[in-house]
Amino acid sequence: MEKAADLSVLTQIYQIIEERSKTQPEGSYVCALLNDPKGVNKILEKVGEEATETILAVKDGKRDEIIYETSDLLFHLMVMLFECGVTPEDIAAELARRHK
């Protein structure tokens, strides 16, 4: 798979999450999140942490950290959506519907 450097990378990451969930490779961070005994609460914890870190990066005005923390947040949001059975296409369709 050629690596995308636009927002279609989110769809690629979602596909990797689906694949990790099916194949359960050893050492996979995605599997560690999906199999955590806390269930969806573990994923929500990470989304909350990464959202807070993103907010702090914006407050500090540090561009590199804003990019890094927002990437962590978007990745964990993809894992959360997968866990809920919602796809990036569902989100894209909703955003497109709102587009004026």
Ligand X SMILES: N=c1c2ncn([C@@H]3O[C@H](COP(=O)(O)OP(=O)(O)OP(=O)(O)O)[C@@H](O)[C@H]3O)c2ncn1[C@@H]1O[C@H](COP(=O)(O)O)[C@@H](O)[C@H]1O
Least CB distance from residue 48 to ligand X, whole Å?
Answer: 11
How far apart are the C-alpha atoms of 85 and 80, rounded to whole Å? Answer: 9
- Out of 11, 28, 70, 87, which residue is the one contacting ligand X (CB under 6 A)? 28
Provide the 8-state DSSP code for 5: S
Q: Which is nearer to ligand X, 35 or 93 (CB)?
A: 35
How far apart are the C-alpha atoms of 77 and 41, rounded to whole Å? Answer: 13
Residue 24 dihedral angles phi and psi, to the nearest 5°: 50, 55
Provide the 8-state DSSP code for 2: P
Binding mask 32-71 for ligand X (x = CB under 6 A): --------------x--x----------------------
> Which stretches of the chain bind ligand X, using CB under 6 A?
13, 16, 20, 28-31, 46, 49, 72, 75
